[in-house]
Structure 1
Amino acid sequence: MKNFKNTKLAVAIAAAMGFSLPVGAIVVVGGDNGWEVSFDGNINQFYVWSDPSGRPDNVIGGNMNMSPIAEHQSRFRSGLMPSLFGFNVKAPTWNGLDIGGRISFAGEVNNSNTQNRGYNGGPGMPSQGLVNSSETTGFGGNLEFREAYFTIDGQFGQILMGRTLDVFMGKNILTDQTLFGVGATGDVHGGGFTLGRIGYGYLYPNFNAQLRWTSPDMAGVKLTAAAVDPSQVCGAAGSLVNGYVAASGANCYNTDSTPRAEGMISYARSWKDGSWEVWGSGVWQNFTRNSINQGQIIADGFTPGIENNVWGWSTGSQLRYKNWDFNGSYYSGRGLGSSFLFDADSMDASGHLRRSKGWMAQWGYTFLGHTKLAFSYGTSRQAETGTDQLMSSMGYGAVLKDQQSYTAGIYHDVNSNLKLVAEWTREINEWYGHGNRQTANVVGVGGYFFW
């Protein structure tokens, strides 16, 4: 048996978020036959205080305070990155091939909401309106089967098969400073982990089953192509007679004849005092509207069998020079949604895909060798369609226009295993129409234990 010291924190976090097999967890168990088993993970907790203003009347979407009354709320909860335990195994090298696998589980320290009851609806999401003990469906925090994949490495690069973080916008979230903190929180009564910049500069890529190829390093250039288990595409639903429903699941299409396609190209180089990386990624998915969904408005001459395409692209860059680092990214697309990819507001009530875009900019300075001061701004925006304008004029609610936030934080590494964090975030949500605005200040203080 052999014990190895921790790898750098960045490697541990990349492994925790699902990027490649860890190359050096804190404990590696190996035998004379060449097999190796390793473990990695983290536990984190934050005290989170927030003061969201009341939700405007007659608006659709958004993920802040769902009450019309302003609140001052305290929580003890996990940050953007959940607590995680990962198990890794590597087989003996065979004919130049390295074969390994990873399984991980993720969860949060907090219960479903502040009343310790109700269904945990996922990251930053509300408790589905369960308000009394007779409606309780669970008391504890959520446990997620996050990763299960194996990799084959050789001169051709790497083949990955299984469940892991998606390629499209995966790099955006991994380079976000709030990965180690809290950022935006979503609904103050929600379960799950916080949002960070999800919906405030990039969209959540999610963990999905896929087949992925990554090229060898070609003088700093790498290519990645993935065929991904396709997602349903959801949006609003409505009827000029029976009313309007904005929730996900009321109007979804899930007939897909092909996998979703995702890809990325990146270039990285380093020198004595720094490094630079630039990347671009894309996504495309085809779906067929084979039926009229419940409550859908037929405003576009709906015909069964019509095909449609969801697509998007993203780019970003990160520069490190001495004690400074700068990072920025941008995305744009059609049918992507405002926070979680292909989720509740990807389409309007007629089935038209909404256009959306977003960006973030971030800078940081590390002093005394182990303390980083960082600041970032990000926004996610979506366009209003003709059907959205029609529904709003009839009094059915204004659609979310943009979500933006400012975050300032201090991140202190006590050692390679313990990180202490203090953050402040200002959230601003706006809807189409005059005066439809909601704000919140979020303060998060806590830390991570890594192994």
Structure 2
Amino acid sequence: MTRFGKLLSATAAGALLCATATPAFAQDATDALLLKLKEKGILSDEEYEALLARKSTSTNTVAATNSAKAPQQAAAERLDDKKLVRTMDSGVGLMIGDVAVKLSGSINGFYVHDDGDAATAANTVAGGLATVGNQTSSVRNGLLPGFIKVDVTTNQGGWDVGAHFGLYPGINSNLGNSGANGAGSPQALQTAGIDARQTYITFGKPNFGEIKIGRDIGLFASDAILNDITLLAVGTAAGNAAPSNTSLGRIGLGYIYTDFQPQITYSSPKFGGLQFAAGIFQPLTTIGRSEVNSSPGFQAKVTYDMVPVDGGFGAHAWVSGLIQKHDSDGILPEYTGKAIDFGAKLSYANFGLTGYYYTGSGVGTIGLFLLSTDGLGGKRDSDGYYIQGTAGFGKFTVGGSYGRSNLDLADGELVSNLVRSNESYVGQLRYGLTGWVTLIGEYTHTRSEAHNGNDATSNALAAGAILFF
């Protein structure tokens, strides 16, 4: 065997010995092996000193590296990732293992002064939303009550899974058991209610879409209220003398309230900016009737989004609809209510323009299936619209809107003081005090007209703030 071969064999033997021994034993064994090779003449004095120096440098480097890594490695070995708690990349919440827990919420309050027409026979409008009576002042919630929402999401078996809860407490006192949004009771020793509007589960995949089961906002007319500037403020201040936990905003004055409803809905993935959703809903009864409905309601919506780039042109457009069959209550005949709406919100830089329209038959006005039929069960047609503009100047945003809802008489129905239209003008000024807090001042003029010519008007001033986190 050549000298080089002997050296290679010796080094391999040393490496094998080091690999199988404990660190302390391996170091001593290697030193002894090198010394024996030198004594046998296999290694010269120079080779022996060079190898010894190289081994010493390598050992010190590895020891230093291991010493630096030891705390992290030890922590990693002790770590159970399913129990790891860490902050989220964004939002208010935390990560617990692979489960995200997010919190979001809002609180608002406004001083509202409402001045309506005097209460006379000529000002009586059944279903009218303008205030009739004395001037009133209140400290109240706006169109939104407060809310706290909890979203718990994760991925299991390739599915994005979520549990969602939304509780909506208000600042105003409620009358007895009238419900969270029932009649107000501005008296001592009263309490505010909590409206559990949202309780639903979601599961989906990026290429599959998402299924939602539970209680959440409806599809029909949801974009109408979500894009309304009065959502952040008060709008029409019905019931201001004894306020409940919500005002009207523009509900019944440009659109029908979408409501929060039990549902099973499917939302598709986005195809570019296009997305559609459809679902079956708990059938709603006609307000004032006691029918039992045998089939669910159906709702659907299609949306299109164009995201603005560098403050350029952006757009959000939608069309939605609903249909529901109402069975006979044994006295009044069955009927089917149906409606469709469409709208768009356009934006450029700090300017926005929104337009909306709906039309329906047998769906009523203000709320779904309220005043939808006459006393003989005949269907009433209805429609409505609003137009809205906003402009931003630094922290200030100026907004204005006009909207109107119309209700027709059923075929053969006699003329009465039933509401023919509710309309309002809104002017609004907002100031972004902080990233969370917005200060708002608002003026709303409301007018109601009956089919027999009666009418009523009211004017409301509101000032307050809303916080989102």
TM-score where L is the length of structure 1: 0.79
Summarize the Cα distance change of 1:407–1:233 in structure 2 as closer, same or farther, 3 Å threshold. same
The whole-number CA distance in structure 2 between the counterparts of 1:210 and 1:352 is 28
State the Cα distance separating 1:153 from its structure 2 match: 2.1
Aligned partner of 1:163: which letter?
A: R
Q: For the residues of structure 1 that align with 2:339 and 2:150, how far apart are their CA atoms?
A: 33
CA distance in 2, matches of 1:328, 1:143: 33
Query: What is the alpha-carbon distance in structure 2 between the residues aligned to residue 168 and residue 55 of structure 1?
Result: 35
2:104 aligned partner: 40
Distance between the aligned counterparts of 1:164 and 1:410, measured in 2? 30
Show the 5 A alignment for 1:38-437. Answer: 38-57=102-121, 59-65=125-131, 70-91=133-154, 93-112=155-174, 120=178, 139-154=190-205, 155-188=207-240, 189-234=242-287, 249=288, 252-272=289-309, 273-292=312-331, 306-343=333-370, 345-368=371-394, 370-389=395-414, 392=415, 397-434=416-453, 436-437=454-455
Q: Secondary structure at the match of 1:342?
A: coil
Alignment partners' CA distance in 2, 1:213 and 1:355: 29
Q: Return closer, same or farther for 1:350/1:56 CA change in 2, 3 Å cut-off.
A: farther
1:258 is matched by which residue type in structure 2?
S
Q: Distance in 1 between matches of 2:290 and 2:222?
A: 24
Q: CA deviation at 1:433?
A: 1.6
**Structure 1 residues 346 and 310: alpha-carbon distance in aligned structure 2, compared to 1, 3 A threshold:** same
SS of the counterpart of 1:63?
coil
Larger RCO (CA under 8 A, 6+ residues apart): 1
State the Cα distance separating 1:102 from its structure 2 match. Answer: 0.7
Amino acid at match of 2:138: R
Deviations 1:219-242 (A, max 9, x none): 1110100101010013xxxxxxxx
Report the secondary structure of 1:285's partner residue: strand
Contact 2:129 2:446 in 1 (8 A): no
Distance 1:107 1:388, change over 3 A: farther
Structure 1 unmatched ranges of 5 or more: 6-23, 235-248, 293-301
CA contact (8 A) 1:62 1:400 kept: yes
Structure 1 residues 47 and 192, CA, compared in 2 at 3 Å: closer, same or farther? Answer: same
Identity, % of aligned pairs? 26
Q: What secondary structure is seen at the aligned counterpart in 1 of 2:255? A: coil
May I ask how many residue pairs the two structures share in their alignment? Answer: 379
Structure 1 runs, 4 residues or longer, greater than 4 Å off: 117-123
SS of 2:214 mapped into structure 1: strand
Gaps (5+ residues) in structure 2? 1-84
Deviates more, 1:376-385 or 1:266-275: 266-275
SS at match of 1:179: helix
Contact 1:64 1:187 (C-alpha < 8 Å) held by counterparts: no
Q: Per the alignment, in what secondary structure is the counterpart of residue 171 of structure 1?
A: helix
The one-letter code matched in structure 1 to 2:131 is N
In structure 1, give the amino acid aligned to 2:346. L
* Structure-2 separation of matches of 1:348 and 1:219: 45
Cα distance in 2 between the residues matched to 1:450 and 1:412: 14
2:77 match: none
TM-superposed CA distance for 1:126, in Å, is 5.0
Kept in 1, the 8 Å contact 2:313–2:348? The answer is yes
Contact 2:129–2:447 (8 Å) recurs in 1:
no
Preserved contact between residue 140 and residue 172 of structure 2 (Cα < 8 Å): yes
Report the CA distance between 1:253 and its aligned residue: 4.4
The Cα shift of 1:373 comes to: 0.5
Q: Which residue identity is paired with 1:375?
A: G
CA RMSD of aligned residues (A): 2.2
Partner of 1:14: none
Distance 1:195 1:177, change over 3 A: same
1:310 and 1:111 mapped to 2: Cα distance?
35
8 A Cα contact 1:253 1:287, kept in partner? no
Aligned-pair distance for 1:120? Answer: 4.4
Computing the radius of gyration over CA atoms, which structure comes out larger, 1 or 2? 2
After superposition, the Cα gap between the structure-2 partners of 1:193 and 1:147, relative to the gap in structure 1 and judged at 3 Å, is: same
Separation in 1, partners of 2:268, 2:120 = 49
Structure 1 letter corresponding to 2:217: L
Secondary structure at the counterpart of residue 116 of structure 2: coil
1:9 counterpart residue number: none
Letter in 2 for 1:317: A
Structure 1: distance between partners of 2:397 and 2:126: 38
Deviation per residue, 1:178-217 (Å, 9 max, x gap): 1101001112234230010000111111111100101100
1:43/1:37 CA distance change after superposition, 3 Å: same
1:7-27 Cα distance to aligned partner (Å, 9 max, x none): xxxxxxxxxxxxxxxxx532x
One-letter code aligned to 1:109: I
